[in-house]
């Protein structure tokens, strides 16, 4: 019973990190692809939009990691050993973008240093999202080889392969898309809105292209992605719903309804994640040997899971109302 | 560089870096709450400006603390996977509660930093307090996890298996209280002296005296109370260590031979090869008293501990000397400060006292880092005391040395930037806060 609670929280935390943290990375990615002339405006909109909540957005990653190392230590350590390099790169990205974001705002003197912070923020946003995707892709790619005895097979080829990199790029596009949609609702001027809509279009196209690449790479690497998505009812319905919501999203966008968009965009990304992961759930890591490490089989001792579940339930009772109020308070601000 | 040494160095560096920011995150909200409270009560604009100025500094530190903490929660696995494989489910309880505490802290910080003029003023004040209380709670929890490594509990270790795991018992292990108490006091002492010292420097330079004087008084009172209690709590810690980790105590005091009664050594040069200490001042019987509360008690020396379980003696001993030395100094400064509070003439005229505080800026943090070196290096060669050796826990991945170099470079650059930002923040105080805000 508690096992299910803990697994639900884990999935929730991962999902929310993709959505909220993803939108956050996306903001940096969009800035990267914004012409110099509009950058400072983009930056300002973005700061107002995510400033109050960015710290909370990133807590989901920590929650997910803590659940993993307390409840599913074997999964945590397998990832840590065989995906050491991409994890380390992602961490460097997280450190760089988190500090650059705050420094550029709180530097008491606004001078050339801003140029430096901005650079770091943009590039590290891109890198973090890319490697987050690469890590996610590697977990299901089946390239991780726990029996390897040379450096390359053990620590490189597990994540440096076509499929993982394609998933990484796809993630970058999704993050950019989420952020663009989110920012459309944050601007008031028609001119700015148009700019973000353009960005959303661009990111949407990129997502489709990279999404196709993911399938091609899966085919090439013999990953049964097509089976997962199209041969299971859940996978198929999720993909259909994702496509429908995309159509609806563009329709509403043309109609100028901007606030509901973000819910649709979030829904769409959720469906994509569901489609990809449902078929092999609860397997968390697929290995080269053909085996898989499953959440259910590696779950920690009973008492641990029990108290972890209790801590999570207690935590959410304390946190969720507070968090909801935070989002609400700073949503209302401009209206 | 050897991979094992590199992994240990990287861990030490990351923790040593994180602890500075987390202490500031734990303590500054309380300073701000006091100043904020005074503003709400007296309507004195200076207090409002002070709260705002501090909160800007805290935002910088908080972000750095958060990213370095995120780094740590991955690093435990990246560097010590075999440790986490077993320890995760046992000592994870405080971490999962800590997650909750961090979350509340992050949310409350969002409210606090962005809530000026937007929230009810007392609710706004309250969110600031929540930041402080949850920060303190997370500090206590994470130290309880570390205490478990010093004093494993909550499981049975049978034939290399970890059975009958009970995470609650693991959290409330024998060391958690003494360590958490000492750590919290240390956070107040170290941050208090650093903040008070910076403002004292500004008073000496005749900048915005009113502003800095108010700041100084708030920080100094916290610092001095902390410094008064620190030796008492340190004594509890020492007695505790004597009971549960005799090897660590022996290393702290460089006590190579079991003695009864045992003298306390002050200073001295340790020679690890010959197992001797040269040039130390000996206070007869004092160590017996410190460790067991009895001037005649026997204190176990390193000769009673198998050689392959000796911690590095010199480092532990020097670090302990540094901590206690600084602790004594800060105690004196506090006593002087409290004494002068009863004198009539204003603080600004006692330039020597302000200079004393300026001198103390780095001391608390040096003691804090030294104290952690005592605890962590003194536990070696164990990662889980008596159960698992550090070298058996390290990641099999080669090339950790490169990772160590890269992360060192990152931490060094971050430290430089944060210092630079803080310098600018302080330099801008006259410009930003000289006239009362019109808003
Ligand atoms: C401002 C910082 C500071 C100051 C002034 C002191 N300490 Fe300390 N000490 C720490 C900061 C610290 C620390 C960094 O916070 C440690 C590391 C682990 C812990 O629990 O606290 C610590 C650990 C620590 C330990 C080891 C605890 C363990 O391994 O479980 C002992 C025995 C003492 N201290 C004793 C003292 C004594 C007798 C002091 C007398 C003045 C003293 N400390 C001052
Ligand atoms: C923030 C304050 C802390 C500091 C400054 C600190 C310092 C250090 C140092 C110097 C080492 C290296 C010891 C050596 O290899 O000789 C170390 C190791 C380690 N520490 Fe701490 N530590 C702190 C708190 C913690 C906490 C709270 C935990 C975990 C709950 C922890 C877990 C570890 C681990 C896993 C190692 C590596 C294994 C080992 O060397 O025993 N530390 N730390
Ligand atoms: C004695 C050692 C430690 C103390 C006292 C401590 C305390 C704190 C505090 C008060 C914060 C809040 C952030 C801030 O105010 O700057 C923080 C942040 C954090 N710490 Fe530590 N910590 C310690 C060691 C560790 C270790 C060993 C880990 C990981 C295993 C860790 C993980 C984290 C994480 C993930 C955050 C970020 C949370 C956020 O975003 O607010 N800490 N720490």
A274-296 residues labelled b (16+ CB within 10 A) or e (exposed): bbbbbbbeebbbbbbeeebbbbe
Q: Please tell me the distance in Å from B415's CA to the nearest CA on chain A.
A: 11
A335 pLDDT exceeds 50?
Answer: no
- How far is CA A120 from each of CA A104, A113, A289, rounded to the nearest angstrom? 10, 11, 40
- Interatomic CA distance for residues A195 and A34, integer angstroms: 9
| pLDDT, tens digit, 9 for 90 and up, residues A56-112 | 677 888 889 989 988 888 889 989 989 999 999 999 999 898 888 888 777 767 777
Please answer yes or no on whether A70 and B88 come within 8 Å at the CB atom. Answer: yes
Quote the tokens at residue A33: 């692809």
- CB-based contacts of A168, cutoff 8 Å, min separation 6: A129, A130, A131, A132, A133, A134, A137
| Residues facing residue B227 across a β-bridge | none
A248 with A264: CB under 8 angstroms? Answer: yes
Model pLDDT, residue B230: 92
Q: Please tell me the distance in Å from A226's CA to the nearest CA on chain B.
A: 33
For residue A21, what pLDDT band results from cuts at 50, 70 and 90? confident
Q: Please tell me the distance in Å from B153's CA to the nearest CA on chain A.
A: 14
Shortest-distance Cα residue to atom 14 of ligand 2: B377
- Interatomic CA distance for residues A297 and A300, integer angstroms: 9
B333 with B227: CB under 8 angstroms? Answer: yes
B237-262 residues labelled b (16+ CB within 10 A) or e (exposed): bbbbbbebbbbbbbbbbbbbebbebb
A19-34 residues labelled b (16+ CB within 10 A) or e (exposed): bbbbbbbbbbbbbbeb
ω into residue A282 within 30 of 0, thus cis? Answer: yes
Cross-chain CB nearest to A84 (options B66, B78, B103):
B78
Ligand nearest to the CA of B376: 2
Q: Is the CB of B320 under 6 A from ligand 1?
A: no
B201-234 residues labelled b (16+ CB within 10 A) or e (exposed): bbbbeebbeebbbbbbebbbbbbbbbbbbbeebb
Please answer yes or no on whether A304 and B421 come within 8 Å at the CB atom. Answer: no
CB-defined contacts A:B, below 8 A: 200
B439 pLDDT exceeds 60?
Answer: no
CA angle A16-A19-A25, nearest 5°?
A: 120
- Interatomic CA distance for residues B282 and B263, integer angstroms: 6
- Interatomic CA distance for residues A173 and B350, integer angstroms: 62
Chain A residues 125-164 with CB within 8 Å of chain B: 151, 154-155
- Interatomic CA distance for residues B171 and B78, integer angstroms: 23
Average pLDDT over residues B254-277: 79
Question: What is the three-class DSSP state of B171?
Answer: helix
Average pLDDT over residues A141-160: 82
- CB-based contacts of B273, cutoff 8 Å, min separation 6: none
B386-399 residues labelled b (16+ CB within 10 A) or e (exposed): eebbbeebbbebee
CA of A320 to the centre of ligand 3 (A): 21
Pairing of strands B382-384, B388-389: antiparallel
Model pLDDT, residue A50: 65
Nearest to A56 by CA among B375, B104, B436: B104
Number of alpha carbons in the 13 Å side-chain half-sphere of residue B410: 27
| pLDDT, tens digit, 9 for 90 and up, residues B216-254 | 889 999 999 999 999 999 988 988 888 888 888 888 887
Instruction: Tell me the ipTM for this assembly.
Output: 0.86
Model pLDDT, residue B330: 93
CA of B251 to the centre of ligand 1 (A): 15
Contacts of A102 in chain B (CB under 8 A): 59-60, 63-64
Pocket of ligand 2 (CB under 6 A): B 8, 11-12, 15-16, 18-19, 76, 80, 83, 142-143, 145-146, 369, 372-373, 376-377, 379-380, 383, 390
CA of B18 to the centre of ligand 3 (A): 7
């Amino acid at each position: 019973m508690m096992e299910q609670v803990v697994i639900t929280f884990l999935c929730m935390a991962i999902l929310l990190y993709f959505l909220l943290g993803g939108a956050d990375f996306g903001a940096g990615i969009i800035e990267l692809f914004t012409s110099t002339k509009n950058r400072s405006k983009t930056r300002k909109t973005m700061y107002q939009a995510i400033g109050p909540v960015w710290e909370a957005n990133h807590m989901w990653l920590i929650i997910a990691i803590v659940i993993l190392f307390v409840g599913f230590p074997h999964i945590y350590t397998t990832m840590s050993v065989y995906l050491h390099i991409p994890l380390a790169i992602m961490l460097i990205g997280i450190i760089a973008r988190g500090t650059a974001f705050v420094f550029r705002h709180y530097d008491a003197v606004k001078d050339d240093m801003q140029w430096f912070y901005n650079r770091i923020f943009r590039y590290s946003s891109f890198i973090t999202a890319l490697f987050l995707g690469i890590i996610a892709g590697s977990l299901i790619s089946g390239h991780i080889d726990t029996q390897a005895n040379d450096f390359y097979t053990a620590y490189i080829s597990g994540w440096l392969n076509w499929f993982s990199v394609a998933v990484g790029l796809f993630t970058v596009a999704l993050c950019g898309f989420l952020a663009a949609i989110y920012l459309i609702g944050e601007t008031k001027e028609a001119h700015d809105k148009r700019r973000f809509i353009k960005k959303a279009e661009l990111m949407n196209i990129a997502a489709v292209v990279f999404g196709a690449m993911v399938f091609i790479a899966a085919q090439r690497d013999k990953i049964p992605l097509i089976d997962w998505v199209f041969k299971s009812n859940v996978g198929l319905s999720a993909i259909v719903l994702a496509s429908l919501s995309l159509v609806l999203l563009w329709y509403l966008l043309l109609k100028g309804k901007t606030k509901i968009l973000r819910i649709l965009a979030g829904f769409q990304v959720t469906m994509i994640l569901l489609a990809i992961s449902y078929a092999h759930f609860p397997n968390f890591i697929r290995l080269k040997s053909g085996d898989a490490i499953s959440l259910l089989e590696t779950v920690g001792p009973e008492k641990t899971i029990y108290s972890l579940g209790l801590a999570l339930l207690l935590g959410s009772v304390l946190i969720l109302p507070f968090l909801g109020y935070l989002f609400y308070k700073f949503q209302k601000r401009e209206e | 560089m050897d991979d094992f040494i590199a992994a240990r160095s990287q861990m030490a560096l990351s923790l040593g870096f994180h602890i500075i920011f987390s202490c500031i995150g734990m303590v500054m909200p309380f300073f701000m709450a006091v100043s904020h409270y005074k503003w709400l009560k007296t309507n004195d604009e200076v207090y409002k400006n002070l709260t705002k100025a501090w909160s800007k500094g805290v935002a910088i530190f908080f972000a750095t603390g958060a990213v370095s903490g995120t780094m740590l929660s991955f690093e435990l696995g990246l560097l010590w996977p075999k440790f986490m494989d077993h320890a995760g489910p046992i000592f994870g309880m405080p971490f999962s509660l800590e997650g909750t505490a961090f979350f509340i802290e992050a949310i409350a910080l969002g409210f606090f930093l962005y809530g000026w003029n937007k929230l009810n003023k007392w609710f706004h004040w309250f969110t600031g307090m929540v930041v402080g209380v949850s920060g303190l709670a997370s500090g206590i929890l994470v130290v309880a996890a570390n205490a478990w490594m010093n004093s494993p509990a909550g499981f049975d270790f049978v034939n290399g298996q970890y059975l009958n795991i009970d995470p609650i018992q693991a959290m409330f292990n024998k060391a958690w209280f003494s360590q958490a108490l000492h750590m919290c006091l240390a956070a107040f002492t170290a941050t208090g002296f650093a903040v008070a010292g910076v403002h004292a420097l500004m008073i000496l330079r005749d900048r915005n005296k009113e502003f800095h004087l108010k700041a100084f008084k708030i920080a100094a009172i916290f610092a001095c109370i902390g410094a008064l209690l620190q030796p008492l709590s340190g004594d509890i810690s020492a007695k505790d260590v004597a009971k549960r980790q005799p090897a660590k105590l022996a290393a702290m005091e460089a006590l190579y031979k079991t003695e009864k009664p045992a003298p306390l050594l002050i200073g001295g040069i340790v020679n690890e090869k010959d197992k001797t200490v040269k040039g130390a001042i000996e206070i007869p019987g004092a160590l017996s008293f410190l460790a067991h509360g009895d001037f005649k008690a026997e204190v176990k020396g390193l000769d009673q501990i198998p050689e392959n379980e000796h911690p590095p003696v010199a480092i532990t001993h020097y670090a302990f000397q540094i901590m206690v030395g600084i602790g004594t100094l800060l105690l004196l400064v506090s006593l002087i400060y409290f004494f002068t509070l009863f004198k009539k003439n204003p603080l600004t005229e006692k330039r020597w006292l302000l200079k004393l505080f300026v001198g103390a800026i780095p001391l608390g943090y040096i003691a804090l880092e030294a104290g952690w070196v005592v605890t962590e290096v003194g536990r070696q060669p164990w990662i889980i005391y008596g159960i698992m050796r550090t070298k058996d826990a390290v990641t099999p991945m080669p090339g950790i040395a490169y990772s160590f170099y890269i992360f060192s470079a990152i931490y060094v650059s971050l430290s430089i930037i944060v210092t630079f930002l803080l310098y600018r923040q302080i330099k801008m105080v006259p410009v930003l806060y000289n006239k009362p805000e019109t808003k």
